[in-house]
Amino acid sequence: MRNVILFIGRYLTFFTFLFLQIVSLWFLYSFNQFHQARFSQTANELTGAVNKRYKNFENFFLQGEENRRLHRVNDSLLNLLSQQVATTDTSSRLVTDTLLIDSTRQYRRYYFRPASVVFNSTSSEKNYIQLDRGSLHGITENMSVLNADGSAVGIVVHVSPHFAQVMSLLHVRQKVNVSLQQTGDFGTLEWDGKDPGLLLLKGLPKSVPVKMGDPVVASKYSYNFPPGYPVGTIAEIIIDKSTNFYLLKVKPAARFNNLQYVFVVENLQYAEQTTLDQETRKKIEDAKRSSR
Amino acid sequence: MREIIRNLIRLLLFLFIEVFVLHKMPHLHRFISPSLYFLFLLWLPFSVSPRFLLWIGLATGLVIDYFLQSPGLHASACLWLCFLRPFLIGVLAPRESSEFNYREPSPQSLLWAPYLIYVTILTLVHHTWLTFLEWLSFGSFGDFLIKVFASTAISLLMIIPIELLFPRSLRFRTNVGG
């Protein structure tokens, strides 16, 4: 026993090293669970505050670019105003609706909240973006994030009271359901961590006609992204003879190096859709098990 | 006391450069991710005990990590660096003079050639471990090797001009007072 204590005493520095190394690796590999913990939330608030100051300073130099972009958005929004559209419908007639469900009632599916980016990176394989809006402003996980001009940026993965962390499209674990604008066929958008200027579109069957420059938009089947918003354009078509699917490279529509103001988009039906999905799966699984 | 404040200011400066300059600037190439903050650890005084050095390394790494949103990654690399530092200094420092005459490792205290070896080895260790951890979850072996050497080269390319441009004051430590 005495020898053991002597041994440890002699190599105390080495054991400290070993212990701290284990601690830091534990931080690294339990990132997701650990990230939920209080400590990281405090850290998030602190780094967020510093990042916000820096961003305020940086924005001063980048306003011109952002102004042009906002101008473009305003332009496109003006075209959507109802006063720009005239109705020439003179043949309509009133029909008494006997259905119990009012099928003409409209409901809101997406709610947009503005936010500004306080931290951003494109140089790692796992890029996160930090926004200056958090749970106090109604941001929750799984909301999608669009750039000021409506192009897809990422999905909120974690929130603290004043800040939110977004998993960028430039993240090797990111998977987004997207479709071709022309045909509506859908595939999965991923990133291989190599070139921040090129995303990968997988799972699109070769029967679909694809050209260079075809626009790729958020799919109607995505739970997070509102459909039809631009994601990118096809930049390279790789035909792999061994599969029935294309491997497409997509040039992202958002310029990730230069994000300033973004929209956080809430799908108001998100909870209902996902719970229905889960319950369906459970129901079918249970039915299978009981029939056996 | 002066020593502590000097090093704290240095840490803040390196943190700022790392997070807001090196990490912000447009990507040079996917294989090259320069970093400079570990120079803070290389410049710590000789008088810091090896065990305390490890704690400083962990803290520095974690601060960087929380800014770059990768808890534990840089901390782990810093620990390697801090663990190997005393051994390297022991091997490279001229026995009789430097540790008593100079405060911290610098081209003047270790002389240029040994100092360059010291910096190169520790930079290589830092980048190897960092890239290795990234590579474990992702990537190919060829990418790993290229990335380690490219990043080390670009970091050294920044460190050497820094040493030439900002020679740290060569104050001798006397026996009278601190």
Residue B176's pLDDT is 47
Contacts of A183 (CB under 8 A, 6+ apart): A208, A209
Quick check: B138 and A193 CB within 8 A?
Answer: yes
Q: Which helix (H) or strand (E) covers residue B55, if one does?
A: helix B50-68
Quick check: A40 and B58 CB within 8 A?
Answer: no
Quick one: A218 and A74 in the same domain? yes
Residues B12-39 have pLDDT tens digits of 999 988 888 888 777 677 777 888 899 9
Residue B100's pLDDT is 57
Residue A99's pLDDT band, with cuts at 50, 70 and 90, is low
Quick one: A68 and A2 in the same domain? no
Tell me how close the Cα of B73 comes to any Cα of chain A, in angstroms. 6
C-alpha to C-alpha distance for A225 and A265, rounded to whole angstroms: 7
Q: How many CB pairs under 8 A join A and B?
A: 88
Is A199 within a domain? yes
Residue B177's pLDDT is 45
Q: Is B90 on the interface with A (CB under 8 A)?
A: no
Q: Which residues of A touch B30 (CB under 8 A)?
A: 194-196
Q: Is B139 on the interface with A (CB under 8 A)?
A: yes
Quick one: A196 and A60 in the same domain? yes
Q: At which residue do the structure tokens 């790993």 appear?
A: B144
Residue A75's pLDDT band, with cuts at 50, 70 and 90, is low
Is A182 within a domain? yes
CATH classification of the domain holding A184: 2.40.10.340
Quick one: A144 and A254 in the same domain? yes
- The answer on pLDDT for A279 being more than 80 is yes
Is there a contact between B34 and B22 (Cβ–Cβ < 8 Å)? Answer: yes
Quick check: B27 and A130 CB within 8 A?
Answer: no
Quick one: A140 and A4 in the same domain? no
Q: Tell me whether residue A244 is exposed, middle or buried, using C-beta atoms within 10 angstroms of its C-beta: 0 to 12, 13 to 18, 19 or more.
A: exposed
Over chain A, what is the mean pLDDT?
Answer: 82
Quick check: B79 and A125 CB within 8 A?
Answer: no
Quick check: B55 and A21 CB within 8 A?
Answer: no
Quick one: A125 and A261 in the same domain? yes
B-chain residue closest to A42, CA distance:
B66
Residues A211-237 have pLDDT tens digits of 898 999 998 888 889 888 899 999 999
Tell me how close the Cα of A22 comes to any Cα of chain B, in angstroms. 8
Q: Tell me whether residue A240 is exposed, middle or buried, using C-beta atoms within 10 angstroms of its C-beta: 0 to 12, 13 to 18, 19 or more.
A: exposed
For A229-257, what is the mean pLDDT? 89
Is there a contact between B2 and A92 (Cβ–Cβ < 8 Å)? Answer: no
Q: What percent of chain A has pLDDT over 90?
A: 21
Q: Is A35 on the interface with B (CB under 8 A)?
A: yes
Residue A246 structural domain: 46-79+113-269
Quick one: A121 and A28 in the same domain? no
Quick check: A24 and B58 CB within 8 A?
Answer: yes
Q: Which residues of B touch A34 (CB under 8 A)?
A: 71
Q: Is B87 on the interface with A (CB under 8 A)?
A: no
DSSP type of residue B70: -
Is A92 within a domain? no
C-alpha to C-alpha distance for B10 and A101, rounded to whole angstroms: 69
Residues A160-217 have pLDDT tens digits of 988 999 999 999 889 999 999 888 899 999 998 888 889 999 888 888 889 898 999 9
Residue A65's pLDDT is 77
Is A100 within a domain? no
Is A283 within a domain? no
- The answer on pLDDT for A79 being more than 80 is no
Which among A144, A154, A158 is positioned nearest to A120, based on CA atoms?
Answer: A154
Quick check: A47 and B55 CB within 8 A?
Answer: no
Q: Which residues of A touch B26 (CB under 8 A)?
A: 257
- The answer on pLDDT for B120 being more than 90 is yes
Residue B93's pLDDT band, with cuts at 50, 70 and 90, is confident
Return the higher-pLDDT residue of A232 and A9: A232
Quick check: A50 and B67 CB within 8 A?
Answer: yes
Q: What are phi and psi of A248, to 5 degrees?
A: -110, 140
C-alpha to C-alpha distance for A28 and A167, rounded to whole angstroms: 17
For A74-80, what is the mean pLDDT? 69
Q: Which residues of A touch B61 (CB under 8 A)?
A: 24
pTM of the model: 0.63
A-chain residue closest to B58, CA distance:
A20
Quick one: A72 and A210 in the same domain? yes
Quick check: B134 and A195 CB within 8 A?
Answer: no
Q: Where are the domains of chain B?
A: 2-22+35-165
Residue B85's pLDDT band, with cuts at 50, 70 and 90, is very high
Quick one: A253 and A179 in the same domain? yes
Quick check: A26 and B20 CB within 8 A?
Answer: no
Q: Is A257 on the interface with B (CB under 8 A)?
A: yes
Name which of B69, B80, B138 is nearest A172 (Cβ-Cβ).
Answer: B138
Tell me how close the Cα of A267 comes to any Cα of chain B, in angstroms. 27
| Structural domains in chain A (count) | 2
Return the higher-pLDDT residue of A102 and B104: B104
For B135-161, what is the mean pLDDT? 85
**Calculated CA dihedral for residues B57, B63, B65, B67, nearest 10 degrees:** -160
Q: Is A130 on the interface with B (CB under 8 A)?
A: yes
A180: tokens are 């071709």
Name which of B27, B50, B51 is nearest A196 (Cβ-Cβ).
Answer: B27
Residue A94's pLDDT is 53
